[in-house]
Structures are given as structure tokens and as C-alpha cells.
Structure 1
Amino acid sequence: MLPTEKKAPTPSVDSRWKWRNHRGAAAAVCVVIALAGTGCATGSEAVAQGGNFDFVSPGGQIDIFYDPPEQRGTVGPLSGPDLMVEGKTTALSDFGGKVVVINVWGQWCGPCRGEAVQLEQVYEATKPLGVEFLGINVRDSQRDKAQDFVVDRKVGFPSIWDPPMRTLLALGGNYPTSVIPSTLVLDRQHRVAAVFLRALLAEDLQPVVERVAKEPQ
């Protein structure tokens, strides 16, 4: 159990996980204005934050690891309409006791297209370890285009359909929602173990997911 009073964990960057693609980080993300035109969500439309995760990126780092585990913060309740199944709600709470990889993406985002195949590869490889993936599709007002993206790339894990990006409130007020794609790795208690603010290769993500999955519960 997390202590009631503590300092935020010191995030670290392990050089082994640095991106090996020399195109640079700028080519690996689409920068958007978070929650543009939506104002502040209130009432029934707002997602309760409820977590205690405090995003910190020393020196503007884009690969951030939060350790030790007992000092990690949890994200808030996260749920929304399932992208592929109309009338269904998909939530982080569906994956109790699982390591969960959350990926924020959009079909309009160029780097997301190549990353989707890489994520699916890691998803299939780590499912036996008790790992689940959850996408959050943002800024796609045309649901059918986002669905076509999933079908064309044979993505097997679910996504929440969230054009106005309201579910991202669950990631805390400091989370950089203007960076797409981004990926969070949550441990089995749904505490944030790692954040990547760029498109990922399977060889970047899989070792991190496997390490988190092997942590003692």
C-alpha cells in the first residue's frame, strides 16, 4: 500500500531503452492541442480523476521510468465507449490484476500507423504473462475511419473511442496530452511504471513490459 505522505518517485531513463531510430523524436509524435474546443468537462461528461499519479519528466525526457514500485502513483478511473462495439463500455477496471499497456492514438496520426503493428506484436507476445493492452482513440470524430484503422492493421486489443480526449483526465493534470502517440505501462496494481512520449518499436516496449510483469505482487 502506498504511504499516505511521500515524495514523488524519481523517474529515471535507462539508456538501454533509448529509441534506436535516428529520425528523431519529432518525427515520432503528432502534437495536438489537448481538449481543443471542448472546454473543461463537467458534470456527467467529466471523468473522475481519482488517481495520485504525478507525471514528471526531468529535462524533457521522453522515456520515463517510475521506480521503486512502492512509490508509483495510480491513474484515476478510466472508461469510455468501446471503439469497435457500439453500446459497450470499456474500462481499465476490466483488467484487474493485469499489467496494462495504455496507448493513446489517432488514425490521423502518421507515426501511429507504423506503431500499431509493433504494439500488436508485443500484445500477442506478452498475453501469456498476464498483460493486456488498452488503446484510447482521440480526435477521430468519424468513428468508422478509426475502426478501419484497427481492422486494416489487425489490432486485437480494445480501444476506447474518445474524440474530445476527456478520458485522459484520468492520467492527471500534468500528463502531456498534446503528444500523440504516447504509451503508459501500468503494473498489476495499475500504478504507472513507465511512460513513452513517442512512437515505439516492439524491441523498445517488450523488455519493459516483461520486466514489469515479472515484478513481485
Structure 2
Amino acid sequence: MRRILTAAGSVLAAAALVVGLAACSEDPLAAQYREGDNKGYIAANGFQTAEIPAENRGEPVDFAGTLDNGDAVSSADYAGRVLVVNFWYATCGPCIIEAPRLEQAYQSFQGQDVAFLGVNTYDQASTAQSFARDHGVSYPSALAVNDAELKLAFADKTPINATPTTLVLDKQGRVAARIVGELPEASILEAIVRTLVAEEA
């Protein structure tokens, strides 16, 4: 019996070591999120997506702000294009996990009338830029932490403090879809965008 217990203990110890090494190899904030610890980000209550019929989309979103590189950005820059707007910040666990999925979707629409814009709700420019480098995000992000007008522009469209949240604006600049929570697959967003690209402006 003692030999059996000793062998079982060795197996458990080896398994624990493997799990420990695997945990060390990934982003700790992403791991924290996967383990269900909500500390460090404002979590949206699960994944939800809603597509809005054209007749119910309301007025275009009129916004202006500053990118993390200091350049100005506004809704006028995206006139006639489908625009994906993702609200995020650097220590948000699900934001980290969905970042490569958003980048995948962004890359899939290169050369088409589609644009992506991040809106960082919490960080300063240096932190936002570091996140983009570390996680391979190549589309731009605007900074909202000290920009009340940028926040106000989207305030009646979505709870922007529930991060991550993604809005998809149609070619007229109206909110056509809303994704609240971590994007599970790039294909979900890609399907929404393709539908809007096919719409007449």
C-alpha cells in the first residue's frame, strides 16, 4: 500500500510541475482571468452580441480624440467605411486574450473599406503602445482616460467601462452591432463586418 501511495504521489507531483511550468509561460493577467479572478479589470457579464437592423440604428456616432502616438482622430476619418471600435485597457485579462483575435479580423479585411480603432479607457500613451507591441496589435488606439468628450460620444451607445466591448459602425457611422465581453472567435466579428460591407451606403 505504501508503494502505491508513493507512486501516486509522484504522479501528482509531476502533474503539478507541468501545470506550474505551463502557467509560467503565459501572461499572468490572462491566466488570472481564465481562473475566474476578476481582480485587475472591469469584467463584462459574459459574452453577448447584438446586431441592429438598419432602421433602428439611430444617428451616426460623432467623435474626436487623440491616438496614443499623438495624432488626432475623428469619425470623419472613417466616412464611408465600416469601423470596428474596441474598448480596452492593458491590465484587462479578457482584453489580452481577445487581442490576437481582433488583430486576425483586422488583417482579414486589409484592402477593403473596413477600419479598426481601439479606445483605451484607462491607460496613458506609453502603456497603450507597450500593449500593442507585446500583443501584436497593429491598428491604432485613441486614449479616453483624460478625454471626457471622447467618452461622451460613445456613452449612450454602450457601457464603455464594461471592458472589453466592441462596437461595429456601418458605412454611415451608425452602431450596427455590439459585442460585450471577450470575443470568442475572430470569425464572429468577421461575419458581422462582411454583412455590413455588403450593405449599400
- Indicate whether the TM-score tops 0.5: yes
Aligned match of 1:105: 88
Distance 1:135 1:163 in 2: 13
Give the structure with the higher percent helix.
Answer: 2
Q: Secondary structure at the match of 1:145?
A: helix
Aligned residues: 162
Once the two structures are TM-superposed, the CA of residue 155 in structure 1 deviates from its matched residue by: 1.4
Given that residues 79 and 160 in structure 1 are in contact (C-alpha distance below 8 angstroms), is that contact kept between their aligned partners in structure 2? no
Instruction: Work out whether 1:78 is the aligned partner of 2:63.
Output: yes
Q: CA RMSD in A?
A: 2.5
Amino acid at match of 2:85: I
Equivalent position of 1:160 in the other structure: 142
**Residue 179 (str. 1) matches residue 165 (str. 2):** no
**Which one-letter code corresponds to 1:70 in the other structure?**
E
Corresponding residue for residue 202 of structure 1: 186
Provide TM-score, normalisation by structure 1. Answer: 0.67
Residue by residue, what CA displacement relative to the aligned partner does 1:144-181 show, whole Å, maximum 9, x if unpaired?
12110011222121110121462121124363123001
C-alpha separation between the residues in 2 aligned to 1:119 and 1:77?
23
Q: Look up the match of 1:12.
A: none
Q: Any stretches of 5+ residues in structure 2 without a counterpart?
A: 1-33
Structure 1: gaps spanning 5 or more residues: 1-22, 33-59
SS at match of 1:135: strand
- Find the counterpart in structure 1 of residue 52 from structure 2: 66
TM-score, normalization by structure 2: 0.72
Please report how far the alpha carbon of residue 92 of structure 1 lies from its aligned counterpart in structure 2 after TM superposition. Answer: 2.1
Q: 1:151 to 1:130 in 2, by over 3 A?
A: same
